[in-house]
């Protein structure tokens, strides 16, 4: 962040499910947050964004403008996938922030380097920061470790839910248990969404992303489900402490 020679390089750990898109949009809108741009029309601002040569935005909108060092699929996965529909969705999302005040989600990371809600920050500190690690080292989060092997977590989850893996991961099944399993694999294992998809029924990463997003929406509305999820999460955390 900042100009090339302005202070130390800063890195943030981002709660992808809830803040990745907001962080991505905020960064891509930076070129129009300069003096003299406020009074310009939305179309003029959009043209500035598209022509700014130091931005990766073009690669999110057109495959032909991509560069090898950027992983476009992660953010586009939250828009439905790295396809025409996902790229159009990302375009609309960026445009929606041009004429409104978009607060920096990175403000959440000041002091600890973690962009996320209180629960996410606490979970990261408990699970990934060693007990003897100094506070000044926390923003870098260099000691991230895998909590469970994927197969190990699946075994714990099936035992806790008293369901067979074959039933939870049956092809075409769209159950809440499968969505929770995908979420826990994402939280507790050093594993990507495409790898999760292969483990739970050979589905692609965009389907994993959508299922996790639907789960989060249901958790916000359904108190009973939220409590059940918290219990499972706590039991898995307890098992992880026994490993350590």
Look at the pTM and tell me if it is higher than 0.75.
no
Residue ranges per structural domain of the chain = 30-95, 109-140, 150-243
Is 39 in a helix, a strand, or coil? coil
Whole-number pLDDT of residue 171 = 67
- The CATH T-level fold of domain 150-243 is Chromosomal Replication Initiator Protein Dnaa; Chain: A; (1.10.1750)
Taking only the tens of pLDDT, the chain with its 244 residues reads 445 444 455 678 888 878 899 999 999 999 998 877 777 899 999 999 999 999 999 999 999 999 998 999 989 988 888 999 999 999 999 999 998 877 888 888 876 788 888 777 777 776 666 554 444 444 434 444 567 899 999 999 999 999 999 999 886 667 899 999 999 998 888 788 888 998 998 888 788 888 888 998 898 899 999 999 989 988 888 887 665 5
């Amino acid at each position: 962040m900042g100009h090339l020679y302005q202070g130390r390089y800063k890195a943030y750990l981002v709660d992808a499910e809830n803040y990745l898109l907001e962080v991505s949009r905020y960064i891509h809108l930076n070129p129009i947050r300069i003096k003299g741009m406020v009074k310009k029309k939305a179309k003029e601002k959009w043209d500035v964004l598209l022509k700014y040569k130091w931005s990766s935005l073009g690669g999110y909108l057109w495959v032909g403008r991509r560069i090898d060092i950027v992983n476009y699929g992660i953010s586009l996965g939250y828009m439905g996938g790295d396809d025409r529909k996902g790229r159009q969705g990302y375009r609309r999302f960026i445009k929606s922030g041009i004429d409104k005040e978009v607060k920096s989600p990175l403000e959440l990371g000041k002091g600890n380097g973690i962009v996320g809600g209180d629960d996410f920050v606490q979970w990261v500190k408990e699970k990934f920061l060693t007990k003897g690690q100094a506070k000044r080292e926390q923003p870098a989060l260099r000691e991230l470790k895998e909590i469970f092997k994927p197969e190990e977590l699946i075994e714990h989850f099936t035992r806790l839910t008293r369901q067979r893996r074959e039933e939870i991961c049956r092809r075409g099944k769209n159950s809440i248990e499968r969505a929770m399993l995908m979420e826990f694999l994402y939280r507790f294992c050093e594993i990507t969404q495409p790898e999760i998809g292969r483990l739970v029924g050979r589905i692609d990463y965009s389907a994993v992303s959508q299922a996790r997003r639907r789960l989060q929406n249901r958790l916000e509305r359904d108190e009973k489900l939220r409590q059940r999820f918290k219990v499972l999460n706590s039991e898995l955390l307890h098992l992880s402490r026994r490993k350590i």
